[in-house]
Chains A and B, each alone.
Chain A
Amino acid sequence: MAPVAVVANGLSLTFGSGAQATRALEGVDLTILRGEFISLIGPSGCGKTTLLRAIADLERPTSGTLLVNGMTPELARRQRAYGYVFQAPALYPWRNVERNVMLPLEIMGIPRAERRELARRNLELVGLAEVARRFPWQLSGGMQQRVSIARALSFSPSLLLMDEPFGALDEITRDGLNLHLHELWRSTGMTIVFVTHSIPEAVYLSTRIVVMSPQPGRIVDVIDCDLESPRPLEIRDTAAFSAIGSRVRRALHSGTSHG
């Protein structure tokens, strides 16, 4: 099987029409290999979330081709090829933590005993096994987002799509979750596509960083990020880390100043 997870060719997506039309994506070419950790970074309105949503078949491209696991995004979605983590935890407040994690498993018709076991295992993975019986409003924002990650992982998708999952969290919580996510990616071999507007976060997590710019939303640069792995948080103090960060910053500036 080809080791390609996602391919976009000449992908464009326009919202609305006529004078109000917004060209959210234009001429996007991108190939994501299996096992990569790709960050999409750029200012607001650069189309990074739109690209992620198109991969997830939550938005329909206007033109160009987009393949997920070698098939159309719709088919991939129907085969439950990916897990999606939203900007907000989007937990259902009337379900406790365990039942929130079991939600996709219920829909997929997995037997009760197995649901329980999968929920337990994935809550352990994000370090929240002890709050399984609590309700979302009893948890901090960071814990809620970890529950939503456990929920996305519960059915072992090979592709994880994450839309600024840590954007609303404080920096200390965010550091902890970044460390955790990197370990998770390393141990599972999943493909992760991660939307962020934080340069350090992108450099710390990624194998490649896709820099985007707005009006119209497009890719301005793709930067390799070949830091050692595992990555302790202190790696952010090294010269290699700073060098990649500056490249991303320069690409962001060139994108916005000529846009």
Chain B
Amino acid sequence: MGEAVRRTLPVVVVVAGLLVVWYVAAILADHGSLALDRPLVPAPHQVAAALLAGIVQPVNSPRSLIYHASVTAASALVGFALAFVLGIALAIGIVNVRLFDRSIMPWIIASQTVPALAVAPMVVVALGNAGLTGLVPKALIAAWLSFFPIVTSMVAGLRSPERIQLDLLRTYSAGSWDVFARLRWPASMAFLFPGMKIAATLAVVGAIVAELPTGAQAGLGARLLGASYYGQTLQLWAALAMASLLAVAAVATADVARAVLVRARGGRL
């Protein structure tokens, strides 16, 4: 058996197995038909067709999934950027100021125990009343969900240098800036990227959740809500598939950023 076959075979088997289970479920749920307009469980080829139809639409059409995805992506991206900056700043504060660690960390954890799904509508509506509509409230929800993995991974990363590496800098009587810039920061990069991947997917989830409650006209969340309201299951599944493609793209971007740094570091992070 060739190396390529050995590597791809398990993937093929899993995908084939999933498709079989999916088709069986679709046949059972839809009374043997695989061509209903509003199937309870659409078959894979129906979802694929609906997804493709949504993608090839002109981008200015309200049925274009590219359009809706771009609206969601914009708020996810702004939210992620906000979470990235805020998360890293908080992590630096927590690592450097003991008081920060004690006073801020419990609130950060508490913020994540609040179910975002329940609170997001209230936040969006409250911000809407305050005159903030459109991208900003959605970006804030996305940031709220995604900053936590950034903070925790950066705190772990900034604390990762071993005693011997810190002692080394002490023998050069290095100042705290040198300790940060030449040791803690570069050491934290190996920890940042796993956290960044989780944060990237959470930013997409946050943006979609924030689009659900407002009767928004655009965005994958609005598309999901509309399709669900009118029982358009094919549309619903197509929007879901588009959302997961968006999340995959977000994670892939984080992987590319990681690969660039790995290359600059001679092959290892």
Complex CA gap A82/B167 in Å reads: 13
User: Per a CB cutoff under 8 Å, which of A78, A83, A92, A138 touches B186?
Assistant: A92
Contact B172 A107 (CB under 8 A): yes
Q: Which of B162, B173, B182, B266 contacts A135 (CB 8 A)?
A: B266
Residues of A within 8 A of B8 (CB): none
* Contact A94–B265 (Cβ < 8 Å): yes
Are A92 and B183 in contact (CB-based, < 8 A)? yes
Shortest CB-to-CB span from A98 to chain B, Å, is: 12
- Which residues of chain B from 175 to 214 have a CB within 8 Å of any chain A CB? 178, 182-183, 186-187, 189
B1 close to chain A: CB less than 8 A: no
Whether a CB of chain B sits under 8 angstroms from the CB of A90 is yes
Q: For B178, what are the chain A residues with a Cβ–Cβ distance below 8 Å?
A: 107
A204 smallest CB distance to B (angstroms):
26
**Is the CB of A86 closer than 8 A to any CB of chain B?**
yes
Answer yes or no: B165 CB below 8 A from chain A CBs.
yes
List residues of chain B with CB within 8 A of the CB of A108: 172
Chain A residues whose CB sits within 8 angstroms of the CB of B162 once the complex forms: 90
Determine the chain A residues whose CB is within 8 A of the CB of B267 once the complex forms: 135
A93-B269 Cα distance, complex, nearest whole Å? 8
Could you show 25 A-B contacts with beta carbons less than 8 Å apart?
Answer: A56-B171, A58-B170, A77-B170, A77-B171, A80-B172, A80-B173, A83-B171, A84-B168, A84-B171, A86-B164, A86-B167, A86-B168, A87-B164, A88-B164, A90-B162, A90-B168, A92-B187, A93-B268, A94-B187, A94-B189, A94-B269, A103-B182, A107-B174, A135-B267, A138-B266
Contact B168 A94 (CB under 8 A): no
Say how far B180's CB is from chain A's closest CB, in angstroms: 12
Q: Which of B162, B168, B174, B189 neighbours the largest number of chain A CB atoms within 10 Å of its CB? A: B168
B residues near A86, Cβ cutoff 8 Å: 164, 167-168
The count of chain A contact residues (Cβ–Cβ below 8 Å) is 26
Q: Which of these, A56, A57, A90, contacts B164 with CB under 8 Å?
A: A90
Q: Do residues A135 and B268 form an inter-chain contact, with CB atoms below 8 A?
A: yes
- Chain B nearest CB: distance from A148 CB in Å? 9
Pick from B164, B171, B182 the residue with the most CB of A within 10 Å. Answer: B171
Q: Interface residues, chain A, CB within 8 Å of chain B?
A: 56-58, 77-78, 80, 82-84, 86-88, 90, 92-94, 96, 103-104, 106-108, 134-135, 137-138
Q: Are A58 and B167 interface neighbours, CB within 8 A?
A: yes
Cβ contact within 8 Å between B165 and A107: no
Contacts of A93 in B (CB 8 A): 265, 268
Instruction: Judge whether B173 and A77 touch: CB under 8 Å.
Output: yes
Query: Quick one: given A106-B182, A135-B268, are A90 and B171 in contact (CB under 8 Å)?
Result: no
B266 touches A58 (CB 8 A): no
How far, in whole Å, are A58 and B189 apart by their CA atoms in the complex?
28
Quick check: A78 and B173 within 8 Å, CB to CB? yes
**CB neighbours of B183 from chain A (8 A):** 92
Within 8 A of A (CB), among B138-174: 162, 164-165, 167-174
Chain A proximity of B178: nearest CB distance (Å): 5
A86 to B168, CA, bound (A): 8
Q: Given A106-B182, A135-B266, A135-B268, A90 and B173 touching (CB < 8 A)?
A: no
Complex: A57 Cα to B170 Cα, angstroms: 9
- With A90-B165, A107-B182 as contacts: A58 and B265 at CB distance below 8 Å: no
Q: How far is it, in angstroms, between the C-alpha of A173 and the C-alpha of B187 when the chains are bound?
A: 30
CA distance A144 to B169 in the complex (A): 18
Instruction: Tell me the bound Cα distance from A82 to B266 in angstroms.
Output: 31
Q: Find chain B residues with CB under 8 A from A92 CB.
A: 165, 182-183, 186-187
Are A58 and B165 in contact (CB-based, < 8 A)?
no
- In the complex formed, the residue of A with least CB distance to B262 is A94
Q: Which residue of B lies closest to A56 (CB)?
A: B171
Chain A residues closer than 8 Å to B268, beta-carbon distance: 93, 135, 137
CA gap between A138 and B267 in the complex, in Å: 10
Contact B169 A107 (CB under 8 A): yes
Bound complex: CA A34 to CA B266 (Å): 41
Asked, given contacts A92-B183, A94-B189, A137-B268, whether A82 binds B165 with beta carbons under 8 Å apart, the answer is no
A106 to B175 alpha-carbon distance, docked (Å): 12
- The docked-state distance in angstroms from the alpha carbon of A83 to that of B172 is 8
Known contacts A93-B265, A93-B268, A107-B174; 4 additional CB pairs below 8 A are A77-B170, A84-B171, A86-B168, A96-B266
